[in-house]
Chains A and B, each alone.
Chain A
Amino acid sequence: MTARTHMPVGHEARQVKGWVGAHRFLLLRRFSQLFFLALFLLGPWFGIWIVKGTLAGSLTLGVLPLTDPFILLQGLMAGHWPEMTALVGGLIVLVAYALIGGRVYCSWVCPINPVTDAAHWLHRRLDLPKGWQPKRSTRLWILATVLIVSALTGVIAWELVNPITMLHRGLVFGMGFVWAMVVAIFVFDLFVARHGWCGHICPVGAFYGLIGAKSLLRVSATNRVACDDCMDCYAVCPENQVISPALKGKPGSSPLILSPDCTTCGRCIDVCSVDVFKLTHRFDDAVVAPPDPAAAPQARAARPV
């Protein structure tokens, strides 16, 4: 098994499903990220004004307002009651992500995601140690700190440093020195802390995780009986603490990945050569039964019921 864990991640999946099959969700995500960025760029670049504004707040086709609820919350903490347009926009975003999964924003929309993904790709390529790993709850502490600082200073505090909106605004309006911040995050994730920014620090992700805690769209280890312990899903998952309860849960436990930390990036589905995971909804806790009771019990034998 040691030899297998040292094979490149997703190697088997590539052999079984082909390159495209083993990168389906990654390709879809990159497309989605580009799509949302393109919506914002069509205006300033080509004069096609479908969406105006930035991820912090936008207006689509002149009618649909969208506002980042986390920025709105900081504004409320800072003592400003916003106008109805922003409130409605914030509510729409809140409800949408509460339904599809808060951190879907992280892996399907956020422009920092390709940066940290690239850092992680290189990190694995160079076989670097995982480095500083503060608790996953650190981001919740930072989230609370940001809200407190907003309340104390009367300023929307995280927007002074938020690399997500800065990079997005940089691309849509003008970069300034935002590139330096992007490089800093890349280096931080590459050398200082594996999955450091998105997995431990970013309070925006923490906030979206909280609002999507009960979301409908979920990944499920439906076919967990087929798992051959290759560990590729753990290696590729940016929040791999979410996998075990679903994949290695006792028989009878839910195969659904219910942790709000899961970004529904779908990479576990991609890299699994035996198709353990699938994208489904949170009420679908069906598990594939072992096809032949005699063939499966290996896993059960280790944990007698």
Chain B
Amino acid sequence: MSLVGKPLSPQRRRFLQDSARAAGGCLVAGSLLAYLARDARALPAEALRPPGALPEDDFLGACIRCGLCVRDCPYDTLKLAELGVDAVATGTPYFIARDVPCEMCEDIPCVAACPTGALDKGLQDIDDAKMGVAVLVDQENCLNFLGLRCDVCYRVCPVIDEAITLELSHNDRSGHHAIFAPTVHADHCTGCGVCEKSCVLPEAAIKVLPTRLARGSSAEHYRKGWEEKAEKGGPLVEGIIDLPDRLPGPGADNLAAPGGYEPGYNLPGAGQ
């Protein structure tokens, strides 16, 4: 209404049109770029980041894809993702454990080379690295689980007897042998992948997975009674009366009535 009588400036109109056009174009281009950015976060399970790498979401904002970590890796473990070949965000460093695992250099040259901190300099001891967690994914094909003594993953583990132990159990199949089950302890596993690389099977039975896939997590409020008890050095609730356990009923070896109580119809006099 107030416009009536005022001549509209063609420059103003032009400016608004041009701005709207540019903003619209940028909205489309920006959305596509944002979609690519979201897509880039989907790191394949077999691709592992170098030691000290920030969590994936932070990593992609920190890694400038310069390749200096790759250059300083003495074992040629690391490589830069190539466009359209590797399903990893293009230009970012990663390794495939089954191809070339991380040899866990004590001076961690890849971390030292990183100019931006995408590989966190806070990682001082390579044993604290968390590139992933080894998981014995296939117990049915693992030779040790079949009752043989392969033990290769256990023996090659750089953190032997801490990250992987052999847990003994009875071999029911043979009846008189033991099963030496390779067992990963995630707290000590660095995810270097030497076990996966060395697994003698055509397809490794033990694989390093990203922690998000390898591990569950217990609920925040969950407490393990036995740990709490050990920490306290006594019962958690004082003054509990320890009642005698219920004893088996008539006849100590009465398997038909494990609680010690006969069903009502079996009692003398019933049903007659």
A→B interface (CB under 8 Å): 43, 49, 52-54, 56-59, 65, 67-68, 71-72, 75, 78-80, 82-83, 85-86, 89, 135, 137-138, 141-142, 144-146, 148-150, 152-161, 165-166, 169-170, 172-178, 180-181
Contact B83 A157 (CB under 8 A): no
Residues 26-77 (chain B) with a chain A CB within 8 angstroms: 26, 29-30, 33-34, 36-38, 40-41, 57-58, 60-68, 70-72
Most chain B beta-carbon neighbours within 10 Å: one of A56, A58, A175: A56
Q: Which of A59, A72, A79, A166 contacts B91 (CB 8 A)?
A: A166
The answer to whether A80 and B58 touch (CB under 8 A), given A67-B115, A181-B83, is: yes
Contact B34 A152 (CB under 8 A): yes
Contact A165 B91 (CB under 8 A): yes
12 sample A-B contacts, Cβ–Cβ < 8 Å, listed by A number: A52-B72, A54-B65, A67-B64, A68-B64, A75-B62, A86-B117, A135-B18, A135-B22, A141-B26, A156-B64, A160-B37, A166-B83
Q: Give Cα A172–Cα B86 distance, bound, in whole angstroms.
A: 17
Contact B61 A154 (CB under 8 A): yes
Q: Give Cα A145–Cα B34 distance, bound, in whole angstroms.
A: 10
Considering only CB atoms and an 8 Å cut-off, how many residues of chain B contact the other chain? 45
Contact A53 B36 (CB under 8 A): no
Q: Which of B29, B64, B83 contacts A177 (CB 8 A)?
A: B83
Chain B positions within 8 Å of A145 at CB level: 26, 29-30, 33
Chain A positions within 8 Å of B72 at CB level: 52
B85 interfacial contact with A, CB 8 Å: yes
Chain B positions within 8 Å of A82 at CB level: 62, 115-117
B126 interfacial contact with A, CB 8 Å: no
Contact B80 A169 (CB under 8 A): yes
Which A-chain residue is minimally distant from B57 (CB atoms)? A154
A245 to chain B, nearest CB (A): 21
Which B-chain residue is minimally distant from A52 (CB atoms)? B71
Which B-chain residue is minimally distant from A77 (CB atoms)? B61
B91 to chain A, nearest CB (A): 5
Chain B positions within 8 Å of A59 at CB level: 68, 113, 115
Q: Give Cα A82–Cα B117 distance, bound, in whole angstroms.
A: 6
B125 interfacial contact with A, CB 8 Å: no
Q: Give Cα A54–Cα B18 distance, bound, in whole angstroms.
A: 37
Residues 2-37 (chain B) with a chain A CB within 8 angstroms: 18, 22-23, 25-26, 29-30, 33-34, 36-37
The answer to whether A156 and B63 touch (CB under 8 A), given A161-B33, A175-B82, is: yes
Chain B positions within 8 Å of A169 at CB level: 65, 67, 80, 91
B139 interfacial contact with A, CB 8 Å: no
Q: Give Cα A154–Cα B61 distance, bound, in whole angstroms.
A: 5
B121 interfacial contact with A, CB 8 Å: yes
Contact A57 B91 (CB under 8 A): no
B→A interface (CB under 8 Å): 18, 22-23, 25-26, 29-30, 33-34, 36-38, 40-41, 57-58, 60-68, 70-72, 79-80, 82-86, 89-91, 113-118, 121
B16 to chain A, nearest CB (A): 14
Q: Give Cα A57–Cα B115 distance, bound, in whole angstroms.
A: 8
The answer to whether A56 and B25 touch (CB under 8 A), given A75-B116, A153-B34, A154-B61, is: no
Chain B positions within 8 Å of A161 at CB level: 33, 36
Most chain A beta-carbon neighbours within 10 Å: one of B22, B67, B79, B85: B67
Contact A150 B61 (CB under 8 A): yes
Which B-chain residue is minimally distant from A178 (CB atoms)? B83
The answer to whether A176 and B90 touch (CB under 8 A), given A83-B116, A145-B33, is: yes
Q: Give Cα A178–Cα B85 distance, bound, in whole angstroms.
A: 10
Contact A80 B62 (CB under 8 A): yes
Chain A positions within 8 Å of B82 at CB level: 170, 173-178
Q: Give Cα A288–Cα B60 distance, bound, in whole angstroms.
A: 54
Which B-chain residue is minimally distant from A156 (CB atoms)? B61
Chain B positions within 8 Å of A150 at CB level: 61
Contact A160 B57 (CB under 8 A): no
B13 to chain A, nearest CB (A): 16
Contact B26 A155 (CB under 8 A): no
Chain A positions within 8 Å of B61 at CB level: 75, 78-80, 150, 154-156
Beyond A54-B67, A57-B115, A160-B36, 5 additional contacts (C-beta under 8 Å) are A52-B71, A56-B65, A145-B33, A146-B30, A157-B33
Contact A176 B85 (CB under 8 A): yes
Contact B65 A138 (CB under 8 A): no
Chain A positions within 8 Å of B58 at CB level: 79-80, 154
Chain A positions within 8 Å of B29 at CB level: 142, 145
Q: Give Cα A54–Cα B67 distance, bound, in whole angstroms.
A: 7
